[in-house]
C-alpha cells in the first residue's frame, strides 16, 4: 500500500497507574525525524520507543506526546529509601553546624527530596509495559491513517497520469502532420521568393528542421515514465523518493516538447502536461 506521511492518531486508556494518553502526529519530511514529549518519570522509555518507530516508519517528522493523569483517589505503592534519608540528614546536620543554623527538616521536606520515595520495581515495570503496549496500538492507528491518506493520493496521481496520456494521444498523430506542414510552408516561401534552391541542400535543411522539431523520443520516454509510475504505485511500499525522481524526468520531457514546439497543439499539450505533473508532485511530497 501507499502511505502518506501526514496523519494523526490518539489513544487513551484508564489504568491502575492513572489515565494514559498518547498522541502521535506526523507530517512530511525528507528523513525520519522524531520529537518526544514524555513525563520525566518515563523518560527512560524514549530509546525503546524510538526503536519501535524506526522498525515501522521510514520517513516523516513525528511529534510524539504522552500524558499521564494520576488518579488521586488511588494510592501508589511506594518504598522508602532509607539510605537516601540517612545521607540527607547527615549532610543537613553538617551544613547546619557550619552555618550555625539549627533548624530541622520536616517530614514533608524529607519526603519531597528526590529519591526518598520510590515506586516499587514491580509497579514501574507494569506501568512501562502498559505504556509501550498502548503506544504500539496508537502507532498502528497512525499507520492505518497514513495508508488511507496514501491510497487517496494514489488515486489522484493515477488520475493525472491518465490526463497526461490523454495529452500524448493528442500530440502523437499531430507530429507527422506538423512536420509536413512545416515542409510545405518552407517550399511555399521559397516559391514566393522565386528561388531555385539546390535540392540536396534543401533536403538537408528540411531534415535538420524535422530533427529539431521531432518529439518522438520525448513521447516514448514519457510513455515509459508513466508506465513506471503505474508499476510503482501498484507495488506500494516506501516509494516517495522514486516517484519524486520520476516527476523530475516527466517535467524534463514536457519542457523539451514545449521548447521544440512549432505548433499550437504541442505547445498547449506541453503546458497542460506540466500543470498535471506539478499537481502530482504536490501529492508526492507527502508520500512516504
**What was the pLDDT predicted at 107?**
86
| Contact partners, residue 118, CB within 8 Å, separation at least 6 | 78, 79, 80, 81
- Residue range 40-57: average pLDDT? 94
67 alpha carbon, distance to own chain's centre = 26
180 pLDDT band, cuts 50/70/90, is: low
CA separation (Å) from 9 to 6, 139, 260?
A: 11, 7, 50
For the chain, what percentages of helix, strand and coil (3-state, to nearest 5) are there? Answer: 65, 15, 20
Coil, strand or helix at 70 = coil
Residue 105 φ/ψ, nearest 5 degrees: -80, 135
Tell me the pLDDT tens digit for each residue of 54-103.
Answer: 999 999 999 999 999 876 555 456 778 888 888 888 888 888 888 878 78
Cα torsion 75, 76, 77, 81: sign: negative
282 or 198, higher pLDDT:
282
Tell me the pLDDT tens digit for each residue of 236-284.
Answer: 999 999 999 999 999 999 999 888 777 788 889 999 999 999 999 999 9
177 pLDDT band, cuts 50/70/90, is: low
DSSP string for 223-287: HHHHHHHHHHHHH-BS-HHHHHHHHHHHHHHHHHHHHH--SHHHHHHHHHHHHHHHHHHHHHTTB
- Residue range 123-136: average pLDDT? 93
DSSP run (H or E) holding 12: strand 7-15
Amino acid at each position: 500500500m501507499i502511505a502518506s506521511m501526514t496523519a494523526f492518531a490518539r489513544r487513551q486508556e484508564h489504568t491502575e497507574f492513572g489515565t494514559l494518553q498518547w498522541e502521535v502526529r506526523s507530517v512530511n519530511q525528507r528523513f525520519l525525524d522524531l520529537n518526544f514529549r514524555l513525563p520525566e518519570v518515563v523518560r527512560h522509555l524514549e530509546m525503546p520507543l524510538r526503536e519501535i518507530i524506526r522498525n515501522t516508519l521510514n520517513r516523516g517528522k513525528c511529534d510524539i506526546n504522552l500524558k499521564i493523569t494520576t488518579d488521586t483517589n488511588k494510592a501508589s505503592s511506594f518504598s522508602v529509601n532509607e539510605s537516601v534519608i540517612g545521607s540527607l540528614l547527615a549532610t543537613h546536620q553538617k551544613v547546619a553546624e557550619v552555618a550555625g543554623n539549627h533548624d530541622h527538616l520536616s517530614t514533608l521536606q524529607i519526603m519531597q527530596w528526590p529519591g526518598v520515595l520510590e515506586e516499587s520495581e514491580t509497579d514501574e515495570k507494569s506501568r512501562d509495559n502498559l505504556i509501550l503496549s498502548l503506544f504500539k496500538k496508537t502507532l498502528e492507528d497512525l499507520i492505518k491513517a497514513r495508508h488511507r491518506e496514501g491510497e487517496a493520493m494514489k488515486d489522484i496521481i493515477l488520475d493525472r497520469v491518465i490526463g497526461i496520456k490523454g495529452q500524448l494521444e493528442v500530440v502523437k498523430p499531430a507530429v507527422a502532420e506538423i512536420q509536413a506542414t512545416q515542409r510545405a510552408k518552407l517550399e511555399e516561401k521559397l516559391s514566393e521568393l522565386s528561388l531555385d534552391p539546390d535540392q540536396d541542400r534543401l533536403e538537408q535543411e528540411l531534415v535538420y528542421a524535422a530533427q529539431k522539431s521531432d518529439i518522438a523520443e520525448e513521447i516514448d520516454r514519457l510513455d515509459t515514465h508513466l508506465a513506471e509510475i503505474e508499476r510503482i504505485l501498484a507495488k506500494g511500499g516506501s516509494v516517495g523518493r522514486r516517484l519524486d525522481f520520476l516527476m523530475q524526468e516527466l517535467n524534463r520531457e514536457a519542457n523539451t516538447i514545449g521548447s521544440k514546439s512549432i505548433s499550437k497543439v504541442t505547445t498547449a499539450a506541453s503546458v497542460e502536461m506540466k500543470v498535471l505533473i506539478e499537481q502530482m508532485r504536490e501529492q508526492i511530497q507527502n508520500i512516504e
